[in-house]
């Protein structure tokens, strides 16, 4: 034993303990290393999930901890799945989810494609484009409420400049038909750079030799784009959609800051609705059932998405 520290530790270990450690198999030692992680996973993820499922079958209310808790079976699930407000919240979430993903993928990929071309000031543009992503959602929500102000908001003046309409004649976060689009615009502004970065990584991973071979075969730029660029960047695009999909399904802070779920319940997304049920109305059992429904939906979607992603990668 050349290392004096190791030698000192070894000699300081009581002989009985040293004998016991020497008797451990590789498998046991591996388990000892993995055990803390498994314990944390069980404590932080699995136990709360099981507890939530259990709560969803009761009428428990957190603000009445001493009240008798009754087992109500699937009653909470029946109430949620026949409630029109919940249905509308899910429709609002679907509108938000679909449009943000479509716009972010289209704009993000286009930006990545342009940034990938070598030009002067390339790095500066990348940094500028990425800036919105680095801001706090609360800050973004607050300053977009100012931009959307009918009297002083720059956004309204910009739209008025393009269309000739009176800037005070519409309110992006006050009008029922416009409010869902207001949150889509802000989320797209904030998170398109994220999609752009992932797409940029995908585009930069394509070897230039493939394009050179295509040039030799006299393939047009259009053909190269559809048969080389898109298929090879597709796994990255799908990954970006997965990340944004999961993130937007649980979107909360930005929308609360921007519209608070209003006007009425036009922008009431499921996460905001769930929070109100759990921590404003204190219907813990009901909110737990709501959370289980959302969990199963996201889990199911993520499962088929990961399967599709693996298929694309294996191609």
Partner 1 sequence: MSLFLNGLLRLRRGPWEMLATILIALGVVMLMQPFAMVLFTYSFIVTLVGTVRFIIVSHFPE
Which positions lie near partner 1, rule CB under 8 A? 77, 81-82, 84, 87, 90-91, 93-94, 293, 296-297, 299-301, 303-304, 307
Nearest CB to partner 1, comparing residues 274 and 293: 293
Name the phi and psi angles at 115, rounded to 5: -65, -30
> In the bound complex, what is the minimum distance in angstroms from residue 118's beta carbon to partner 1?
41
Nearest CB to partner 1, comparing residues 62 and 91: 91
Please report, for residues 40, 134, 190, 206, the alpha-carbon distance to residue 30 in angstroms, rounded to integers and kept in the order given.
Answer: 16, 39, 43, 39
> In the bound complex, what is the minimum distance in angstroms from residue 231's beta carbon to partner 1?
22
> In the bound complex, what is the minimum distance in angstroms from residue 189's beta carbon to partner 1?
24
> In the bound complex, what is the minimum distance in angstroms from residue 101's beta carbon to partner 1?
13
Nearest CB to partner 1, comparing residues 18 and 306: 306
CA within 13 Å, CB half, 50: 6
Please report, for residues 80, 115, 254, the alpha-carbon distance to residue 286 in angstroms, rounded to integers and kept in the order given.
Answer: 8, 48, 25
- CA nearest to 109, candidates 200, 222, 226, 211: 200
Contact status, residue 277 vs residue 286, Cβ threshold 8 Å: yes
Nearest CB to partner 1, comparing residues 133 and 298: 298
CA atoms of 311 and 46, how far apart (whole Å): 29
> In the bound complex, what is the minimum distance in angstroms from residue 314's beta carbon to partner 1?
12
Helices (H), 117-229: 122-130, 137-147, 154-163, 179-204, 208-216, 221-224
> In the bound complex, what is the minimum distance in angstroms from residue 84's beta carbon to partner 1?
7
Nearest CB to partner 1, comparing residues 47 and 87: 87
Nearest CB to partner 1, comparing residues 60 and 96: 96
Contact status, residue 293 vs residue 80, Cβ threshold 8 Å: yes
- CA nearest to 88, candidates 283, 287, 268: 268
């Amino acid at each position: 034993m050349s290392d004096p520290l190791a030698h000192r530790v070894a000699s300081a270990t009581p002989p009985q303990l040293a004998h016991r450690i020497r008797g451990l198999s590789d498998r046991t030692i591996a388990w000892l290393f993995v055990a803390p992680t498994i314990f944390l996973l069980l404590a932080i993820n699995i136990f709360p999930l099981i507890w939530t499922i259990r709560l969803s079958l009761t009428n428990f209310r957190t603000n009445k901890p001493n009240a008798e808790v009754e087992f109500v079976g699937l009653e909470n699930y029946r109430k949620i799945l026949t409630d029109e407000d919940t249905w509308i919240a899910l429709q609002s979430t679907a509108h938000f989810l679909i449009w943000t993903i479509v716009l972010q993928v289209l704009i993000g990929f286009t930006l990545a494609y342009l940034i990938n071309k070598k030009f002067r000031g390339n790095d500066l543009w990348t940094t500028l484009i990425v800036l919105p992503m680095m801001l706090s959602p609360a800050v973004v929500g607050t300053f977009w409420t100012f931009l959307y102000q009918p009297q002083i908001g720059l956004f309204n003046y910009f739209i008025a400049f393009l269309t000739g309409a009176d800037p005070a004649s519409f309110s992006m976060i006050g009008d029922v038909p416009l409010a869902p689009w207001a949150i889509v615009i802000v989320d797209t502004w904030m998170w398109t750079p994220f999609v752009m970065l992932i797409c940029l990584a995908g585009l930069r991973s394509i070897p230039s030799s493939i394009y050179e071979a295509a040039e030799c075969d006299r393939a047009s730029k259009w053909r190269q784009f559809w048969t080389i660029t898109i298929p090879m960047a597709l796994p990255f695009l799908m990954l970006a959609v997965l990340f944004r999909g999961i993130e937007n399904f649980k979107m909360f802070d930005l929308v609360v800051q921007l519209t608070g779920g209003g006007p009425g319940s036009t922008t009431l997304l499921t996460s905001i609705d769930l929070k109100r049920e759990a921590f404003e109305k204190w219907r813990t059992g009901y909110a737990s059932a709501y959370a289980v429904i959302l969990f199963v939906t996201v889990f199911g979607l993520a499962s088929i998405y990961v399967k599709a992603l693996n298929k694309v990668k294996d191609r």
